[in-house]
Amino acid sequence: MNGKKKTKLTTVKNYLKLGRSFGTTNSWGAIFIGVLTSSVMATYLDAFKILVIAFFAHAYIGAINEYWHIDEDKKHPQYKYKPLVRGDISKRNALIYIYFCLTMTILLSTVLYLNFSPVLLILAAAFGTLYTIKGKYIAWAYDLTPSIGAGLLIVYGATTIGEITSITIVAALCAFFISMYSEWVDGMKDVDTDKKFKVPTTAVRWGYTHSKHLTLKDPNFVYFLFIVISLDVVYSMPFFFNLLSPTYFYIFLFLGVPIQGYLIYKIYGKQNKESLRKHPILFIGTTMFLAFVLVIDKITIWGVLGIMIFALGWVYVFSLFGIQFSKDKILHPKKI
């Protein structure tokens, strides 16, 4: 009996890995920021409903990514722990899970919010699908397709309970540029592998190698600066247009800007795969925090901190049970 329970638990864990469900709060966070920027005040029930929708939406994108790139992953020993690579889940069952998650995403978003908002979620999922199937192999589509999808998640969230506001647009632009950074740093980190498979990331197109120093003469570093400056311009907009209280701008100015300055300093010079893997931990954490600070007037600083703790806690709890892909010892504790 215990053996059967253990087998079932292992199967569940494999499907959670397949859908990268440990990262659900990334999708939930984007959608829920949108909800909080809406013209209508959100409730705790909305937070839960969005979490359920985000779980299946995130699993759909995660699973289709694993399914589509299975042949590539099999060629890399570092991916031997993935369920599809190990053969713990068959390609047929993976495809069934993909369709199940897509169906549940559309069904739940339609039933829980009886308006046109599910159309925006489907559109966001379409950009995610395009990125997985074609976007990775088309110059700039690699960067733009997931970033447009991220922005659409914000807009979707706002339309679930009310109307789009000026802060919704600001948050959507933030999500867009945060995603652009994420794709940039992933491309920098995996440049050797991407060259082998002819994935046209900016790093590949602009001739980056880990032996090169990132300086103002390197277009990869200049591109990173462009993303940071663009984010800062967007973050400043609510203050200059009197959309939020000064508290928001003070947090951005005295917390966000110094950290971003430090991260610019850290990325300057020679990098390796490990340093490029750790850089997003602080960068994305800071920018996500600032994105939630956009709604500080509605939920106060304690609400912002509570959301961040929940988002990070979700990843940590999943990692306690070994449900993650990254082997980074800083992010993930030992499996039990």
| SS3 state at 214 | strand
Tens digits of per-residue pLDDT, 77-89? 677 778 888 888 9
**Is position 191 within any domain?**
yes
**Is position 1 within any domain?**
no
Among residues 155, 179, 177, 159, the alpha carbon closest in space to that of 168 is found at 155
pTM: 0.89
How far apart (Å, rounded) are the C-alpha atoms in residues 33 and 241? 20
The residue type found at 288 is M
**Is position 5 within any domain?**
no
**Is position 314 within any domain?**
yes
Q: How many domains does the chain have?
A: 1
Contact of 122 with 111, CB cutoff 8 Å = no
DSSP state of 274: H
Contact of 219 with 206, CB cutoff 8 Å = yes
**Is position 7 within any domain?**
no
**Is position 233 within any domain?**
yes
- Two structure tokens written together for 111: 């039933």
How far apart (Å, rounded) are the C-alpha atoms in residues 108 and 103? 8
Tens digits of per-residue pLDDT, 183-214? 999 999 989 888 887 888 999 999 999 989 99
Return the pLDDT at 83. Answer: 87
Contact of 125 with 105, CB cutoff 8 Å = yes
Return the pLDDT at 243. Answer: 86
How far apart (Å, rounded) are the C-alpha atoms in residues 138 and 114? 36
How far apart (Å, rounded) are the C-alpha atoms in residues 27 and 35? 12
- State which residues form the domain around 193: 12-320
Residue 218 has pLDDT above 60, yes or no: yes
- Two structure tokens written together for 241: 């247009």
In 157-211, the DSSP E strands lie at none
CATH number at residue 278: 1.10.357.140
